[in-house]
Structure 1
Amino acid sequence: MAFAHSASGHPAPLAPGQNAHTSARPLDQTLATLGKRAGVRIGTAVNTDALADEPAYTRQVATQFSSVTPENVMKWDAVEPSRGSYNWKAADQLVSFARAHGQLVRGHTLVWHSQLPSWLTNGSFTPAQLRDILRKHITDEAGHFKGKIWQWDVVNEAFNDDGTLRDTIWLQQLGPGYIADAFRWAHQADPKAVLFINDYNIEGVNAKSTALYNLVKKLRGQGVPIHGVGVQGHLDVQYPAPHDIAQNLARFDALGVQTAITEADVRIPLPSDNTKVEAQNQAYSTLLQGCLLTARCTDFTVWGFTDKYSWVPSVFTGEGDANIMDADYQPKSAFTVLQQDLLLAGRHR
């Protein structure tokens, strides 16, 4: 599949805060429908509190997307807040919602250095004990959702930007072999799930993405059941969009693994203006086109679709407006850009 999307194909720049629906009529098709025609699932991270309490939010999740990722409710501190005591309620509800609406679920995440329960981080465990704890967690969670998860982010954010392994509790206590072990345990617990390693700042060819490539190649050569590479796609208009993303994804394609854009958003230093909005449009388009131009790229997920529930302002001071809909659920020009890219890709299939 190949297609061109020139800058002239983008909507005209908007005034700060202006939405696509006020300046140009969006295509009358959902992202899910257009994605299906283009051969890629379009997903969103889901705030399960908003899903339960806010009909406007629920309606958008149900109609615009063909896959969902839990923002927090499958992370370790949420599912096992005290040792041996599991709380699957919110995660189960999301899985049931997805099934009712014909959506697939990306599980997120089994092994991470963040959002760990205090009983784990404050505990005193030997390496052998910690290994057993990790194996039990992966086995219990992947087993609980067996047959219900399309893709699992098994290991999340294992690398530093310079390509070295992140100095986490897992690396410190278990050594680098914890990554291969995690994939083996997850596969044993749910043999049909597609297993991903997921990270940020790996959109283009750089030290981090190359180190990840080398690890995936090595592990697959050893028979480790790693099936996919998740490229998060958290971008900022202050920096150039990763225009070598297709070249980067092609490397993983050649290894025979799937790829996916798993957490796309593009933050803007506030206040916004026409130039920043156009840069955001181009960044979203660059990410999606990189996926569409890669044969084994299966899905494109935005990390939340509405600015109302964005994580960005609380983490990046003075930045925001990162999502494809505003806080009132109106589509922004970035939303229309994604529609147009998917429409063009569908015509070229």
Structure 2
Amino acid sequence: MKLIALLLGLSTLVNAQSLLKDAVSFRLGASVNPRMLVENEAYRNIASNEFTSLTAENHMKMMLIHPAADRFDFTKGDEIVAFAAKTGKRMHGHTLVWHNQVPQWMKDFQGDQKAWEEMLKNHIQAVVTRYKGQVSGWDVVNESFLDDGSLRPSLWADHIPDYIAKSFQWAHEADPNALLFYNDYGQDGHPKKMQAILDLVADLKKRKIPIHGLGLQMHINVDSKRTEIARVIEQSAQTGLVIHFSELDIAVNPKNNPEYIYEANTQNELFQFIFTSFRAIPARQQYGITFWNISDKDTWLRGYFKRPKEYPLLFDETYVKKPGYHSLVNYLQHAK
């Protein structure tokens, strides 16, 4: 009995020391904040030790990186890229074109379609050129479709009718070696949105516009239907493009119940399902899985949606690995 107890204890210890990144054959990433990388040692250590890929959560978006028409601010983007290089991480760029977080000067811009195209082209190519050879892939265009499959009304759709295709072309011209992604959320449960994305891919391919990957954000919750998620993954993989689960988190309190008490069983099972599903994608199409933020303390869900009792990630509010982290590692080590 003592021997069995000892062996069980050793097994638990080994599992506790095992890293999730070592249990997978693909890149494991997280979105990061440059201030936190500097100021918070626990955050920095997790970013350094637990992941093989990093994404800038906000500091490569238009508003922060291009605050004035005649001025780019690459300071924070450079810091993240330097941290990734120093710690041996792949760097993923997010995002070049989005309807949100647009600086005021772009909203106030005046000109004909040609002028708008020159303005957007300049932005894209300046950012991509800045990080040429340092950023492996870019979310070129982000969230361009509504749930009903229609094109989302935006500054870009209003002034540049073919802005998606042009954005991919301009990004490719700036860095022919970078992988270029279309990135979106909520395809599960919204088949018309998914079909619009598939139609976009087919159209770009037909026109020989370079697109290399699809970002499936995977902002899901404990009520998300596995059959719908599986369908989206299968349809995406069938395009032949590289697949990135680009912003993974699993919300446990989507209705913002103030009395909610954290219960992780369903969440843990969903994490296992997501990782198993990604493993099933052909290896040549596996770009990786990226978590959106490092820990429950940093999750965007608490700030953006004002849901203080939300626990969507694998590190808790004190930057300690949750039981779900260890169960996921154990599951992946033993699953075929």
TM-score, length-scaled by structure 1: 0.86
Cα distance in 2 for partners of 1:298, 1:341 equals: 21
SS in 2 for 1:340: helix
Task: Supply the AA of the counterpart residue of 1:292.
Answer: R
Over the matched positions of the two proteins, sequence identity in percent amounts to 31
| Residue among 64, 68, 74 paired with 1:88 | 74
| Residue among 32, 56, 60 paired with 1:46 | 32
Contact preservation (8 Å) 1:241, 1:286: no
Cα distance in 2 for partners of 1:112, 1:341 equals: 37
Contact preservation (8 Å) 1:289, 1:341: no
Answer 1 or 2: higher relative contact order, Cα 8 Å, separation at least 6. Answer: 1
SS in 2 for 1:74: coil
| 1:327 Cα deviation from its structure 2 partner | 1.1
Number of equivalenced pairs = 317
Flag structure 1 segments of 5+ consecutive residues without an equivalent. Answer: 1-23
Counterpart position of 1:135: 121
| 1:203 Cα deviation from its structure 2 partner | 4.2
Counterpart position of 1:233: 218
Contact preservation (8 Å) 1:265, 1:323: yes
Q: Which has the larger displacement, 143-152 or 242-251?
A: 242-251
Counterpart position of 1:101: 87
Counterpart position of 1:159: 145
Counterpart position of 1:283: 270
Cα distance in 1 for partners of 2:155, 2:145 equals: 13
SS in 2 for 1:136: helix
| Residue among 7, 29, 37 paired with 2:18 | 29
Task: Supply the AA of the counterpart residue of 1:257.
Answer: L
| 1:240 Cα deviation from its structure 2 partner | 2.6
TM-score, length-scaled by structure 2: 0.89
Task: Supply the AA of the counterpart residue of 1:334.
Answer: G
Cα distance in 2 for partners of 1:251, 1:266 equals: 21
Cα distance in 2 for partners of 1:184, 1:126 equals: 20
Flag structure 2 segments of 5+ consecutive residues without an equivalent. Answer: 1-11
SS in 2 for 1:197: strand
Contact preservation (8 Å) 1:205, 1:248: no
| Residue among 319, 323, 327 paired with 2:313 | 323
| 1:190 Cα deviation from its structure 2 partner | 0.6
Counterpart position of 1:145: 131
Task: Supply the AA of the counterpart residue of 2:205.
Answer: R
Cα distance in 2 for partners of 1:210, 1:78 equals: 32
Contact preservation (8 Å) 1:204, 1:242: no
Task: Supply the AA of the counterpart residue of 2:217.
Answer: Q
| 1:204 Cα deviation from its structure 2 partner | 6.2
Q: In the alignment, does 2:198 pair up with 1:209?
A: no
Cα distance in 2 for partners of 1:51, 1:298 equals: 24
Cα distance in 2 for partners of 1:330, 1:86 equals: 37
Question: Against the structure 1 CA distance between its residues 192 and 341, is the aligned structure 2 distance closer, same or farther, given a 3 Å change threshold?
Answer: farther
Cα distance in 1 for partners of 2:328, 2:190 equals: 23
Q: In the alignment, does 2:50 pair up with 1:61?
A: no
| 1:154 Cα deviation from its structure 2 partner | 0.3
